[in-house]
Structure 1
Amino acid sequence: MAHTHADTPAFDPLDPHGQNQPGHGGHATHVIVTPFMLRSVLAILLLFTAATVGMAQLEMWAQPFFGIALPKWVNVVGVLAIATVKSILVVMFFMQLRYDNPMNSLVLVASIFCLVIFISFTAIDLFTRGAIDPVKYGQVTKGGTGAMVAAAGGKPMYQAAKDRLIEAHGQSHFEALEHATHAHHPHPADHSWYPTDENSPNKTRRRTGMTDALKTDAPAPAADHAHPH
């Protein structure tokens, strides 16, 4: 069967690509938002801005007037709700996502979702830095407070162990053990148990003060023991 083909239109120098020819020029065009719509959205945004300020002023007036203390989350939730509505209006009409490819809206929503996750985990760290475990309350006590140990009887753990040892073996036995312990492991503040301040193969004492290494004086001449020949 023979097919007829449309004649090739003549070349038009004013339309070299044939955009105005039949079957051409049907490409999608961008939506032009009317000035009335833009002004209306702008007016709504300004209204919500005034609502944000009014909400803060209302909270400052209501608390002393009614003698109440509103929790902080009330103000935060209210302000964030207004800011969310304003952001939606901006991206829908000023950024024209309402008329654009839905994929662009999906990319924006996914980006905001990732940002919320990042801020949430950061907030978990920031808002809990002042939290302290109950077992860590109060100042640190040498030897522990013994409050969590039943056998300590409310005393520091080292004191409770010392009392049990004295009660079981007597004061003289405890003093003998203490003397032997200090002899092998003397404490820096207990100088009475230091046998010597000199260096030994088992320990080294740090020397303080000036040494002769930086002196510029010439050393005294050595005695001449040479015999004349």
Structure 2
Amino acid sequence: AAGTPNAKSHSQAPTSFLPASSHLPSPGSTAGRVLDDQHPVIRALKRRQGEWLCHLTTGQVYTLAAMLEVEDWGAGLKVFSEGDRGAAHQCFFVLVDGYVKGVKTIKGKEERQFSQRAPGFTFGDTSLFGGSPRECTIYTVTKTQLVRITPDLVNALMGDDPRAVEALHYHGMSTVTKALNIKKGLVLGSLTQAELYHVAEKTNLVIYHEGETILTQGDHHRDLGPFAQQLYVLDSGRVEIWMTGVFVEDPV
């Protein structure tokens, strides 16, 4: 089970970015306070290391900081696990202070993917903006302070303006939109930017482990079921494509 921080959690995140009728400060939050430039949360957010944070104005950074609650985590705790999904995991985290590491399970063993000490480092973005399962397991290495960004906070920050939330949502789906923007392939190459964004919103991030088979040559529609009519875009990692058959040389 994931570790429990020494702070009251925000209310459970909604499953979409639909505007809420009202937004109240979370219990224990710093809402209403004026935070100066040296406040740890301000300093972390101003680093703007995440794709999403890069598109906030300075005023929005200060507003967001005043809405957040710092969570204190002990060393060696699990923040979330690879594959976790659902409303409770539709959020991402910003590192305020401390040290975290991310690991993936490959062939039954956990392998470190990254370790990070830098304030402002963000992780779990795709679970908030794309509804994707957690891409890896995150552990605290030392005593760590985190802040959690939820859909409620995004809506409140953008004043429940659907267009503003949608634009921020687009920027937040950084890995998906960047992969699609490469526009390799006949289908993606013919799409407009607006159409590409629509595809990004409907795209699901699927995690495959090393050595897994995605599909097999000759698979028939009836064998693939709901996966019969779809194409794949490589977001990260490496794939190999193998074909078998009889190839006949043209006569000279």
- For this structure pair, what is the TM-score category when the shorter chain's length is used for normalisation? under 0.3
TM-score, normalised on structure 2? 0.22
Between Structure 1 and Structure 2, which shows a larger proportion of strand residues? 2
Q: Relative contact order: is structure 1 or structure 2 higher (C-alpha 8 Å, sep ≥ 6)?
A: 2
Larger Rg: 1
